Amino acid sequence: MGRVTHETLDRQATRIVVVGGGPGGYEAALVARRLGGDVTVVERQGMGGAAVLTDVVPSKTLIATADWMTIAERAADLGIRLPVDTAKAQHPAMRRHIVDLDAVNTRVMALAAAQSADIRARLEREGVRVVTGTGRLDGPSRVVVEGGGGAGADVTLDADVILLALGSTPRTLPTAQPDGERILTWTQLYHLTELPERLIVVGSGVTGAEFAGAYNALGSDVVLVSSRDRVLPGEDADAAELLEGVFRSRGMTVMSRSRAESAVRTADGVEVTLSDGRVITGSHVLLAVGSIPSTHGIGLEEAGVRLAPSGHVEVDKVSRTSARGVYAAGDCTGILPLASVAAMQGRVAMSHALGDAVAPIKLRTVAANIFTAPEIATVGYSEEQLKAQSSKYVTTTLPLARNPRAKMLGMRDGFVKLFAHPEAGVVLGGVVVAPRASELIFPITLAVSHRLTVDDVASAFTVYPSLSGSIAEVARMLHHRED
């Protein structure tokens, strides 16, 4: 289909208003435009949304620096020495590279701003209107944008279809109010100009684990406070256990079964009080205790959009809400808080609304990654799910330390694990724990998505030597011989 511009649109074009310019919103806007819609995106913060401005892009850019620091730790094993003067330094910290956090955060923010500007330019190039301001529903077919017009006037947008892609914001505790200086949410970390001396991270889910790992690698003393038995509750147990071991071996203090009750500022730092009365002191505290959907106070329920008790918008498999003509995508739906899933939900919504072919989202084939060192990537059924639904499965794990390429690269911590059906051999899921596991998971994602068998995976060539060789090797180990 050729490109459609506003000038060539006839009056019959479906008027689509997307509220929220994150991955759930902007991807959908592009799809809707290509399908001939008359599209407006309303965004209050900046195009690309939290994903680009405060969450995915900044965190992964910061983690890129942390990764280099982790790799540099292996330098000595690979025969690399620091210049003599530095090597003679008395303090261990002086014998390693040091991080200029101001420079790191300047790079992080510049990259996020550039990506946001690129997305806005692309949308405008494709003929999408962008209105800046906070949108609220006035019934199921009208969006009012506060301050969206000139001189702060409101703008009213009538719509045939509305897509809510509102995202979420960090959850805080009433007894731990962020001040942007010492008590921080993850959106406030990038204003730091100096590395926290002792960072207390409250919450050991994906966000807490990623930042705890990153700041530890950057050179901060890190205390990770986890209310559960182990870090990363809900993730593959072997992977979580391995990561916790790596964290501890790198000098991080991991406090399990410790619930933070409050965080307060002291003269020169912070104090975090645990529910059992213990008090931890640090220079800064990061609250990573989940997110709250941005669905309140903008007329959703009044317009007939049903919300779950958690505040998330209820949607079906093609992203429809309970209000006719109103769709929702991304973190505000609480389906799976991933940028890739948000974008897919948004695309599906627009294809459905504009009468294009739609394939409902299959969450079983979503690949996810935790950007720690090593990374933890997963796809398909987890072992926990297979056990819970009493599925028949076989599994094998191969430690990364046995892989020849890993040995050459000086990598020790990690593994590849596959789950397959015992008779049919179909790959049901997999876990990769390795540096760049996010890249290595793709062959397993293909296998899960296309129902390949372990023999299909094992019979494909891999480069020798390569980390992906371990994936084929595990598949080979799961070969089922017909008697």
Ligand X SMILES: Cc1cc2nc3c(=O)[nH]c(=O)nc-3n(C[C@H](O)[C@H](O)[C@H](O)COP(=O)(O)OP(=O)(O)OC[C@H]3O[C@@H](n4cnc5c(N)ncnc54)[C@H](O)[C@@H]3O)c2cc1C
Exposure letters 373-389 (e unless 16+ CB within 10 A, then b): bbbbbbbbbbbeebeee
- What is the rounded CA–CA span in Å between residue 107 and residue 104? 5
Q: Is 134 in the site for ligand X (CB under 6 A)?
A: yes
Least distance between ligand X and beta carbon 194 (Å): 21
Q: Closest separation between CB of residue 12 and ligand X, Å?
A: 27
Q: How many residues does the chain have?
A: 483
Closest approach of ligand X to the CB of residue 261, in Å: 23
- In this structure, the number of other CB atoms found within 10 A of the CB of residue 90 comes to 7
Would you call 150 exposed, middle or buried from its count of C-beta atoms within 10 A (0-12, 13-18, 19+)? exposed
Residue 392: which of 422, 418, 364, 417 has the closest Cα? 422
Q: Is 203 in the site for ligand X (CB under 6 A)?
A: no
* Binding window for ligand X (CB under 6 A); candidates: 45-53, 107-115, 429-437, 469-477: 45-53
143 vs 478, beta carbon nearer ligand X: 143
Instruction: Mark residues 422-461: x for contact with ligand X by CB under 6 A, - for none.
Output: ----------------------------------------
Helix (H, G, I), strand (E, B) or coil at 20: coil
Please report whether residue 286 would count as binding ligand X according to CB under 6 A.
no
CB atoms inside a 10 Å sphere around CB 448: 25
Residue that has been written with the tokens 């409050």 in this structure:
262
CB atoms within 10 A of CB 238: 15
Report, in Å, the least distance between residue 58 CB and ligand X: 8
Kindly tell me which of 207 and 403 has the beta carbon lying closer to ligand X.
207
Binding of ligand X by 115 (CB under 6 A): no
Nearest-angstrom CA–CA distance, 313 and 82? 55
Q: What is the smallest separation between the CB atom of 411 and ligand X, expressed in angstroms?
A: 21
* Residue 155 lies near ligand X (rule: CB under 6 A): no
- Smallest Cα–Cα separation from 286: which of 217, 207, 370, 369? 207
344 binds ligand X (CB under 6 A): no
Shortest Å, Cβ 155 to ligand X: 12
**Smallest separation, CB 56 to ligand X (Å):** 4
298 binds ligand X (CB under 6 A): yes
In 3D space, the residue among 17, 76, 81, 82 whose CA is nearest the CA of residue 43 turns out to be: 17
Q: Is 22 in the site for ligand X (CB under 6 A)?
A: yes
Distance CA 14, CA 32 (A): 9
The answer to whether residue 186 forms part of the interface with ligand X (CB under 6 A) is: yes
State the Cα angle at 145 between 142 and 146, rounded to 5°: 135
Tell whether residue 334 is a contact of ligand X (CB under 6 A).
no
Q: For residue 148, state whether it binds ligand X (rule: CB under 6 A).
A: no
- 55 near ligand X, rule: CB under 6 A: yes
Contact 272, 289 (CB under 8 A): no
Among 17, 30, 31, 51, binds ligand X (CB under 6 A): 51
Structure tokens at 33: 């435009």
Closer to ligand X at the Cβ: 211 or 398? Answer: 211
In a 10 Å sphere around its CB, with 0-12 CB exposed, 13-18 middle and 19+ buried, how is residue 11 labelled? Answer: exposed
Q: Note if the bond before 465 is cis, omega within 30 degrees.
A: yes
Residue closer to ligand X (CB basis): 83 or 152: 152
Q: Which of 167, 205, 425, 443 binds ligand X (CB under 6 A)?
A: 167
Position among 262, 340, 449, 466 found at the interface with ligand X (CB under 6 A): 340
Range 205-264, binding ligand X (CB under 6 A): 207
Please pick, from the candidates 42, 232, 246, 432, the single residue that binds ligand X as defined by CB under 6 A: 42
Q: Is 374 in the site for ligand X (CB under 6 A)?
A: no
Rule CB under 6 A: choose which of 18, 19, 39, 112 binds ligand X.
Answer: 19
Cβ at position 376, least distance to ligand X in Å: 12
50 is a site residue for ligand X (CB under 6 A) = yes
Asked if residue 374 has a cis previous peptide bond (ω within 30° of 0), the answer is yes
Cβ contact 148:154 at 8 Å? yes
User: Binding ligand X by CB under 6 A: which of 37, 330, 429, 443?
Assistant: 330
Q: How many CB atoms lie within 10 A of CB 333?
A: 26
Least Cβ distance, residue 460 to ligand X (angstroms):
27
Verify binding: residue 43, ligand X, rule CB under 6 A.
yes
Beta partners for residue 288, in sequence order: none
Helix (H, G, I), strand (E, B) or coil at 220: coil
376 binds ligand X (CB under 6 A): no
Binding interface with ligand X (CB under 6 A): 19-25, 42-45, 49-51, 55-56, 59-60, 134-135, 165-168, 186, 207, 294, 298, 330-332, 337-340, 342, 371
